[in-house]
Structure 1
Amino acid sequence: MTANRIPLDELERGTPFEQRHIGPHAGDQAKMLAQVGYGSLDELTAAAVPDAIRSVGALNLPDARSESDVLAELRALAGRNQVLTSMIGLGYYGTVTPSVILRNIMENPAWYTAYTPYQPEISQGRLEALLNFQTVVADLTGLPTTGASLLDEPTAAAEAMAMSRRVGKVKQGVFLVDEDCLPQTVAVIRTRAEPTGVEVVVADLSEGIPAEVAERGVFGVLLQYPGASGAVRDPRGVIEQAHELGAVVTVAADLLALTLLTSPGELGADIAVGSTQRFGVPMGFGGPHAGYMAVRDKFARSLPGRLVGVSKDVDGNQAYRLALQTREQHIRREKATSNICTAQVLLAVMAGMYAVHHGPEGLAAIARRTHRFASLLGAGLRAGGVETVHGAYFDTVTARVPGRAAQVVENARGAGVNLRLVDADHVGIACDETTGRDQLAAVWGAFGVEAEVPGIEELDAGSEDALPEALLRTDEYLTHPVFHSYRSETALLRYLRRLADRDYALDRGMIPLGSCTMKLNAATEMEAVTWPEFGGLHPFAPAEQAAGYLTLIRELEERLAEVTGYDAVSLQPNAGSQGELAGLLAVRAYHRDNGDEQRTVCLIPSSAHGTNAASAVMAGMRVVVVKTGEDGDVDVEDLRAKIEQYGDELAVLMVTYPSTHGVFEEHITDICGAVHDAGGQVYVDGANLNALLGLAKPGKFGSDVSHLNLHKTFCIPHGGGGPGVGPIGVRSHLAKYLPNHPLQPAAGPETGIGPISGAPWGSAGILPISWAYVRLMGAEGLRDASQVAVLGANYIAKRLEPHYPVLYTGPGGLVAHECIVDVRPLTKQTGVSIDDVAKRLIDYGFHAPTMSFPVAGTLMIEPTESEDLREIDRFCEAMIAIRAEIDKVGSGEWPADDNPLSNAPHTAAQLGGAWEHPYSREEGAFPGGVQASDKYWPPVRRIDGAFGDRNLVCSCPPLEEYDG
């Protein structure tokens, strides 16, 4: 017994988290290594990863901790945050997340582990939920076409600015912004406008457009409704004046206020933007939240981002899909007008279901309650002798207290309430769904007028509402049955379950999407996100109230800098696309500071993701495409020729490493050196960082800047298409150009490029996930994860190579963390398309790999380190079985137009009717040993995309169009 005794310290440590995160255990890894032809992970790494880039020594990270220890650390950090009642406003409000939504959406892996709905047949649940969201936005804004969410309100406003210039009659002129717009929105607009040569003019538009501005020409106008100060003004005069000038008008509107106020569409606006945060989504120190954009029908096809539309499947059944230009691979590179390829799906689903839960009557009741407390607040202040600036407001009162504003704010803080310090003479107080009598009393006390204020019942009886009669809403909204059918929790619970059952997420099986890194989002990593100490904090709360958050942020920045080899990191960008833009703006600022304003050329390999080129255009750069060789690597000769051709115009090279083709390119250090010798900078896209952690550091092998995808490598779940976080890492010479924020000096350097998102630290509410992942794994765990990810991809490549050509390999015939298999020769021989293979995988119980990117007619497969060998083998066997099916089509055993592939996916409804196919029901629905008891049934058959684009419907269809 003594000989087998396990040391106490080992017993105390328990099972390392790494063993729970990494799917293949030691025995499985040995089998996989044998298949690939190597004896150990280190031996495989030595063969696959070029010597020139490999890191020396272990990562300098704290030792891995157990799950219980990490949760204890997070509890300690959370305890250092001081969550006061927030009455700051400025686009962020207290809200009550219905428990049924919190538990069954936000905390439910069936919703948060799903991927972007590019395979619509297995995404019908979240597509319906997004259609609900779009309907809420369209109805409340009075504008018929709306997208499936944008990153936040300021980003949406910046997109509206770009769209106004693109679609409007006036192509020059200025973009005119009312001075009562949210300050963070104005700042983001300025950041986005300057590189593209747009002049932003901020002016008081309360009396109309100033003549001197009108004379210069105006292509777009942005109004806030209600304003940042709380003022509710009738914008019809300004809108009419703007239209006479040929300008496109955008109204940034509060959706809760729109339940009571006339909609922007009825007022004459062309575009509406805003946030849906106060529809049940926690503030989360700034995000993630679903921004929105709605437009008039004539602008529908210019809408940035994703749009859910209604189409039909091959049987004529109604079905949902992403419509128009919303595939991120379809971004038009150097001709792009937006780099938005990410939505905030999980948060949009929550906001939409908040409206389903409450219905129009419930939303209006919340709005009336919010407004009534604001009215009483203002009446009480006036009764106590305090001047309120505006007579008409919805939820925010601005009080004038000459010279006393700072003291009032300090008094309120002492009473547990945060107010907004506008300036030395003004205080802003915002009410919301959570405001009650105690908060009003505390505010009155902070102003020193509590004794003079009548009782609240007396105030209520004697004071009028503060909404102008001429702006009260009279039309109906949210009339669709979905907003009237789920009043009981039982009904809503079953509706949510029914939608989730229509989808395929990681809780069902492997999602082998190349470049998307669909890996484990561990429950321990997710747990802290919904704690009120992290979820309940306003992004503009005093920094001392966010000590725990700021410590977590600093530690995560330092650890991300360590693993990437950079000197500084900013966590502000709230999507990979925004990280790209921030990184390129930093490069641009660096060159301009050096007097090299002529450096505007951005070199991008032809294989690059479309957002790379789009981001470069938005950063004021000129895109020049570099050829890609037959082996998938950057054509070094063409690169050198382009460097020579553009000389001192070269700004930056954007390159993905490992390459977009899934290969460790051997010449990356030479490529970086050539660009640096020419005076340029190197941007390494961090999409494939999961292959590098602990093995190589971009900041050490030649890169100057990278964006990272925390929703890929660092375990933030994809949420059905968002949220994401896309921080950037830079070397020291670029650190002074990281994003900053006008309302939070600690968010970035004073010399920074300006804010890239609305909140100082972007989607801070989900940063505890990545912090926890790094803390749980430690240096060895992160290295092991990368090594097993590389092993898994090579194992799949070896197993599938006899059946499908593996398109690109690197040193030793190896791939990186993903591999590309080529279906084009089979399509040429048999007519079976890449779509047929992808849809047939659904019958086998899989989400398809990435289709036709970066090469048309191929599948890019990434198993990640989290999938165990049994699941990887199940996928390989499905692919091999599909190859055998393709051969049957090729031999003529099955007709080219009637076979299990061309008819895939098969639904349960098909099995009950007549069967006239040349293959059996079992071959169609239960291929390759798929068990009926475990079968995932897609709710619809293959969807007609072209029909949906020709007949665009982006809000809930009338009830009579639904089957049954």
Structure 2
Amino acid sequence: MNMLSEGRPTRPLQGADAAPLTSTGNRGLMLEEPLIFESGSAHVSGVDLEPVPPHESRLAGFERTAPIGLPGLSEGETVRHYTRLSRQNYGIDLGLFPLGSCTMKHNPRLNEKMARLPGFADIHPLQPQDTVQGALELIHRLGTWLKKLTGMPAVAMTPKAGAHGELCGMLAIRAAHEAKGDARRVVLVPESAHGTNPATAAFCGYAVESIPADSRGRVDFAALAARLGPDVAAVMITNPNTCGLFEPDLKRIADAVHAVGGFVYCDGANFNAIVGRVRPGDLGVDAMHINLHKTFSTPHGGGGPGAGPVVFSEALAPFAPLPFVVEKDGHFHLVEEETAASEGHGASFGRMAAFHGQMGMFVRALSYMMSHGADGLRQVAEDAVLNANYVLRSLEDVISAPFAASGPCMHEALFDDSFLDGTGLSTLDMAKALIDEGFHPMTMYFPLVVHGAMLVEPTETESKARLDQFIAAMRALAAAAKAGETARFTNAPHYAPRARLDETRAARTPILTFRPSPEDRLAAE
């Protein structure tokens, strides 16, 4: 049985047009596709291989003694399998991807072309540095852009993604305190911060204390100031925060934290909303990671690819990780452990990764920056904020928006489920019904400070016409919910390749390994 769905109902027709599913499960161009293990056979191969001649094993007794059980298909069958699966997927090249806090925007094909240039795509991290001068220059130039955009004097390019960047910044903060013999062990994290922030602080050995949000969805400054003291190593703050709101008190917060000897870590995952408009260094930030794969337009998916460079203030720059690129007389080289002390960087806390960084992401990000220019990047932020506010103000009369009255939002519009009171429906029902309208659902139940949250980030790359389609769909669903059309929601999606799954069971008892039935085993034998 296909493990993606137990019931397999796909795209049912309604009323007089209803008809039983075909024996294949196909419906027109929506083709049913079994698992590759169900399609292929371990006794079939897509290529003809000559028998292996007798030979002496070099595997020291670790060679396989039984078939591995992988499915065999011809090339044509393999191509069809993955093409059919792709037709059941949703991506940014199909339509609006309104995931809040994810910045799923169009990826310019120019960036992809640049990343595939042989001088970048075909290099190896262990090549002699003299043979990769162009790549090192690109990394150096990208780092220079990041420093200028953030107003920070130093940057570490090695972190692989956002949470890795957080770890980098917090390790530098810990190293800075330890260099002074200061054993601080508390990190303050506002409720409106990303969930990775407290996790990172705890991973670094700190005790994490939460700071509440005020009625406007921002950090409660009075509560923060009351908790500051000589035991506080740092404050980790997300700005713009997870409610899609700018933290106007960040400079005041930074001054208060610095007054007690602490540092300010800023989660830069939402930098897309302020790039070219605000320099975090001017607000007193000491360390901030930047998700290149969000702000500077790189494909998401599959657990990556990602890149999370970290910019540092003057106070933390000496503790930044190795290696990093420096330029001298037109030659670029990496500062490693053996040369760090001689070049004035002996206080570094060490390495974050075996190799320097994520080259494909670096190329795409710099391509994006150079094609936009400084003025274009400023417009990126302006258009992202404009689009989010257009969505917010176009829906606030029919879908409850908890902080709409406190002023404009930034790059994402936040709604909650209070408009569904009395309908018997939930945020999940609303999201599933949105699939039937041809849209990927928004981020659900995040941030946690808002009950039944629905977080929408349209990004700057969506046109007004496309936003109007999304808004119309959301308004229609809100009207249907209030009109009592519960079946439209509780059984949704009706028109997706798969019916609604038992999400609790899927999370608690996922099936991650294919195990053929006894009948399948007999047939294979």
Range into which the TM-score falls when normalised by the shorter chain? 0.7 to 0.9
- Structure 2 residues without counterparts, runs of 5 or longer: 11-35, 325-332, 521-525
The counterpart of 2:242, out of the listed 641, 660, 676, is 660
Say whether 1:498 aligns with 2:74: no
Name the CA shift for 1:500/1:316 in 2 (closer, same or farther; >3 Å): closer
Q: Percent identity?
A: 37
Q: Would you say the 8 A contact 1:793–1:817 is kept in 2?
A: yes
Q: Does 1:794 align with 2:389?
A: yes
Partner of 2:415: helix, strand, or coil?
strand
1:822 counterpart (389, 396, 416): 416
Alignment partner of 1:872 is 2:457: no
Q: Provide the rounded CA distance (Å) in 1 between the counterparts of 2:213 and 2:57.
A: 65
What are the equivalent positions in structure 2 for 1:175-324 lying under 5 Å apart? Answer: 310=3, 312=5, 315=7
User: Is 1:687 equivalent to 2:269 in the alignment?
Assistant: yes
Question: 1:955 — aligned with what?
Answer: 513
Change (3 A) 1:589 1:904: same
Q: 1:920-943 CA deviation, whole Å, 9 max, x = no partner?
A: xxxxxxxxxxxxxxxxxx210111
Decide whether aligned partners of structure 1 residues 359 and 861 sit closer, same or farther in structure 2, where only a CA change above 3 A counts.
farther
- For residues 641 and 364 of structure 1, the distance between their equivalents in structure 2, rounded to whole angstroms, comes to 73
Q: Per-residue CA shift, 1:720-769, capped at 9, x if unaligned?
A: 44211111111122122222259x953685532222223222x2233110
Q: Provide the rounded CA distance (Å) in 2 between the counterparts of 1:682 and 1:740.
A: 21
Q: Quick one: distance in 1 between partners of 2:388 and 2:378?
A: 16
Offset from partner CA, 1:230-276 (integer Å, 9 cap, x none): xxxxxxxxxxxxxxxxxxxxxxxxxxxxxxxxxxxxxxxxxxxxxxx
Q: Aligned-pair distance for 1:831?
A: 1.2
Please tell me the residue identity of whatever aligns with 2:505: F
CA 1:810–1:547 in structure 2 vs 1: closer, same or farther (change >3 Å)? Answer: farther
Assess if the C-alpha contact under 8 Å between 1:673 and 1:702 holds in 2.
yes
Change (3 A) 1:800 1:580: same
Conserved? CA contact 1:632–1:808, under 8 Å: yes
Aligned to 2:24: none
Residues 311, 945 of structure 1: 8 Å contact kept: no
Distance change (3 Å), C-alpha of 1:484 and 1:630: same
CA contact (8 A) 2:400 2:415 kept: yes
The aligned counterpart of 2:151 is 565
Q: Does 1:583 align with 2:172?
A: no
The corresponding residue for 1:609 is: 194
CA distance in 2, matches of 1:735, 1:359: 59
Partner residue of 2:224? Answer: 639
Measured against aligned partners, the alpha-carbon deviations of 1:835-878 in whole angstroms (never above 9, x if no partner) come to 01101111111011111110330111111110001111111111
Amino acid at match of 1:841: L
The question of 1:756 aligning with 2:377 is answered no
- Aligned to 2:237, the other structure's residue is in SS state strand
**1:948 Cα offset (Å):** 2.9
Question: Of 174, 179, 185, which aligns to 1:593?
Answer: 179
Instruction: Identify the match of residue 492 of structure 2 among 904, 927, 932.
Output: 904
Which of 816, 838, 851 lines up with 2:431 in the alignment? 838
Output one character per residue of 1:314-338: Cα deviation in whole Å (capped at 9) or x when no partner.
Answer: x3669xxxxxxxxxxxxxxxxxxxx
Alpha-carbon distance, 1:809 to partner: 4.4
What letter is aligned with 2:351? P
What TM-score, normalized to structure 1? 0.47
- Residue 335 of structure 2 is matched in structure 1 by 746
Q: How far did 1:514 drift?
A: 1.2
The match for 2:99 is 513
Once the 2 structures are TM-superposed, how far is the Cα of residue 702 of structure 1 from its aligned partner?
1.3
Aligned to 2:20: none
| Amino acid in the other structure paired with 1:752 | S
Question: 1:746 is aligned with what amino acid?
Answer: V
Indicate if the aligned counterparts of 1:741 and 1:755 stay in contact, CA closer than 8 A.
Answer: yes
- Paired residue for 2:309? 727
Q: CA deviation at 1:358?
A: 12
Question: 1:312, CA displacement in angstroms?
Answer: 3.6
Q: Is the 8 A contact 2:273 2:381 kept in 1?
A: yes
Structure 2 residue 280 is matched with structure 1 residue 698: yes
* 1:826–1:832 CA contact under 8 A, matched in 2: no
Deviation at 1:806, TM superposition (A): 1.8
Aligned with residue 556 of structure 1, among 142, 158, 170: 142
CA RMSD of aligned residues (A): 3.0
Cα 1:961/1:774, change in 2 over 3 Å: farther
* Alignment correspondent of 2:113: 527
* 2:483 aligned counterpart, secondary structure: helix
Q: Is the 8 A contact 1:665 1:810 kept in 2?
A: no
Give me the whole-angstrom Cα distance separating, in 2, the residues matched to 1:746 and 1:600.
31
Cα distance, 1:516–1:357 mapped onto 2, change above 3 Å = farther
**Equivalent runs, 1:91-106 vs 2, <5 Å:** none
Give 1:943's aligned residue. Answer: 501
8 Å contact from structure 2 (residues 88, 497) kept in 1: yes
Q: Which has the larger radius of gyration?
A: 1
The answer to whether the Cα contact below 8 Å between 1:793 and 1:816 also exists between their aligned partners in 2 is: yes
Is the 8 Å Cα contact of residues 740 and 750 (structure 1) preserved in structure 2? Answer: no
CA contact (8 A) 2:272 2:295 kept: yes
1:557-610 Cα deviation digits (max 9, x unpaired): 0001111111111111111110000000000001111221x2121100123222
Amino acid at match of 2:295: T
5+ residue gaps, structure 1, are 1-127, 129-309, 319-351, 370-459, 908-937
Q: 1:724 to 1:360 in 2, by over 3 A?
A: farther
Matches within 5 A, 1:319-718: 466-468=58-60, 470-477=61-68, 479-480=69-70, 483-485=71-73, 487-488=74-75, 490-596=76-182, 598-643=183-228, 647-718=229-300
In the aligned structure 2, how far is the partner of 1:759 from the partner of 1:655?
A: 29
Counterpart residue type for residue 310 of structure 2: I
The answer on whether the counterparts of 1:571 and 1:727 sit within 8 Å (CA) in structure 2 is yes
Distance 2:112 2:202 in 1: 36
Q: Is the 8 A contact 2:420 2:482 kept in 1?
A: no
Q: What residue is the counterpart of 2:19 in the other structure?
A: none
Q: Quote the Cα distance in structure 2 between the aligned partners of 1:357 and 1:716.
A: 37
CA shift digits 1:278-325 (9 cap, x unpaired): xxxxxxxxxxxxxxxxxxxxxxxxxxxxxxxx5645x3669xxxxxxx
1:178 is matched with: none
Aligned length: 475
Name the CA shift for 1:552/1:599 in 2 (closer, same or farther; >3 Å): same
Task: Give the aligned partner of residue 166 of structure 1.
Answer: none
Residues 961/756 of structure 1: CA separation in 2 closer, same or farther (3 Å cut)? farther
How far 1:365 sits from its partner (Å)?
A: 8.3
Distance 1:359 1:848 in 2: 41
8 A Cα contact 2:93 2:106, kept in partner:
no
| Aligned-partner Cα distance in 1 for 2:123–2:48 | 25
Measured against aligned partners, the alpha-carbon deviations of 1:448-481 in whole angstroms (never above 9, x if no partner) come to: xxxxxxxxxxxx99x955332x22221221x24x
Equivalent position of 2:483 in the other structure: 888
The amino acid that maps onto 2:148 is: E
Per-residue CA deviations over 1:14-50 (Å, capped at 9, x if unaligned) read xxxxxxxxxxxxxxxxxxxxxxxxxxxxxxxxxxxxx
C-alpha distance after superposition, 1:160-189 (max 9, x if no partner): xxxxxxxxxxxxxxxxxxxxxxxxxxxxxx
**TM-score scaled by length of structure 2:** 0.84
1:758-813 CA distance string (max 9 Å, x none): 3222x2233110010001000010001110111111111110011112222486x2
Taking the aligned partners of 1:773 and 1:680, their CA distance within structure 2 comes to 35
SS at match of 1:732: coil
Amino acid across the alignment from 2:257: V
> Matches of 1:517 and 1:864 in 2, distance apart?
6
